């Protein structure tokens, strides 16, 4: 089967690598997003998928808008690919592109469709505290992740998994499912299943306000926000921004999901009845500060001060001489 691959971030790399190493497939070319300026030096940096394409000397296309770039469209058309494979590409494909390959455009999406259609399914599934997620392969149509489903695989989400953890675990799962999907499509042994639009939920692009923490929310809601939008959620501390990178809720409902040593600590914790949201109500040696929320308490496991590297909650507590009664402000 002749393939053209569309993808951009690290999440897409296992899928491209699997296609390149599999004897059933030939990758004719790769379409990825233009290089972006990143880091303190603001230097143009290629996408992870571009690096793989260059390492394998594959034809590479980086149109600013793939549906408007006539040169790229002509080359895609002339390739006469059996299928276009799309994994986290980052642009909408026009109907003209969708109609080009013989078997259609096949997408591997990071959710159990029709839930979490859109640009950030892994992030929003964590934000909403889902117990499981997965990968769905589908035949693409003109809608946003609305095409007929092909195969689905499910996996549980651990309490302390963040976006990077979950994406890294889902990426190879998606690669395996993609290979199986393409083989079954070629063999005509797979039946597309229409999505139930009444069950659809959405995962839009993340706006900057989504990173702001509000200590009046519950501990589990804040924990899910922090791990879903990892590593960028922020509060304030003594007038400066403070990134909260990793946390753990200590309520009894979560004891069985915590590491054993942390579970023992959580079970020994006694609430402070008069504490207000954002107030430091405990300092656990070797762990970090315990902060009161609108409902329950949250252990700060990793934080990051402006201009500094991330540090453990305990190092932060020592370095800032954090004391009981200190108050962290909301982000924003």
Binding residues: 111-114
β partners of residue 288: 284
β-pairing verdict for 83-87 and 105-109: parallel
Whether residue 108 contacts residue 27, with contact meaning beta carbons closer than 8 Å, is answered with no
Q: How far apart are CA 233 and CA 243, in angstroms?
A: 6
Sequence-ordered list of residues with C-beta below 8 angstroms from that of 307, at least 6 positions apart, any chain: none
DSSP-derived secondary structure for 172-240: HHHHHHHHHHHHHHHHT----B---GGG--B-PPPPGGGGB--TTSBHHHHHHHHHHTTT--EEEETTE
Q: What is the rounded radius of gyration, in angstroms, for the C-alpha atoms of the chain?
A: 23
Would you list which residues are annotated within the binding site for (6S)-5,6,7,8-tetrahydrofolate? 111-114
Q: How far apart are CA 75 and CA 83, in angstroms?
A: 14
**Residue 289 to residues 121, 276, 302, 313, 321, Cα–Cα distance (Å):** 31, 15, 10, 6, 11
Which residues have CB under 8 Å from 217's CB, separation 6+?
225, 293, 294, 295
């Amino acid at each position: 089967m002749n393939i053209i691959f569309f993808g951009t971030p690290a999440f897409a790399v296992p899928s491209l690598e699997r296609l390149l190493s599999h004897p059933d497939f030939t990758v004719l070319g790769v379409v990825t997003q233009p290089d972006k300026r990143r880091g303190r030096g603001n230097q143009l940096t290629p996408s992870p998928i571009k690096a793989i394409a260059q390492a394998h000397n594959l034809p590479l296309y980086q149109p600013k808008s793939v549906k408007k770039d006539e040169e790229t469209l002509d080359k895609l058309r002339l390739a006469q690919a059996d299928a276009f494979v799309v994994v986290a590409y980052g642009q909408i494909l026009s109907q003209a592109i969708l109609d080009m390959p013989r078997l259609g455009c096949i997408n591997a999406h990071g959710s159990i469709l029709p839930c979490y259609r859109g640009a950030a399914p892994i992030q929003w599934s964590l934000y909403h505290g889902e117990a499981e997620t997965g990968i769905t392969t589908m035949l693409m149509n003109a809608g946003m992740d609305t095409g007929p489903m092909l195969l689905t695989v499910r996996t549980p989400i651990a309490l302390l998994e963040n976006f990077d953890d979950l994406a890294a675990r889902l990426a190879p799962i998606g690669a395996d499912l993609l290979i199986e999907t393409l083989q079954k499509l070629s063999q005509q042994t797979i039946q597309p299943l229409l999505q139930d639009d009444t069950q659809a939920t959405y995962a839009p692009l993340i706006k900057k306000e989504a990173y702001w923490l509000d200590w009046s929310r519950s501990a589990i809601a804040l924990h899910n926000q922090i791990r879903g939008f990892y590593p960028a959620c922020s509060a304030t501390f003594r007038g400066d921004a403070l990134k909260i990178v990793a946390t753990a809720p200590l309520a009894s409902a979560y004891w069985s999901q915590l590491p054993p040593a942390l579970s023992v600590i959580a079970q020994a914790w006694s609430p402070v009845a008069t504490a207000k949201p954002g107030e430091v109500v405990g300092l656990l040696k070797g762990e970090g500060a315990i902060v009161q929320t609108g409902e329950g308490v949250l252990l700060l496991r990793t934080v990051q001060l402006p201009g500094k590297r991330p540090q453990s909650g305990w190092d932060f507590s020592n370095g800032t001489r954090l004391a009981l009664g200190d108050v962290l402000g909301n982000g924003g």
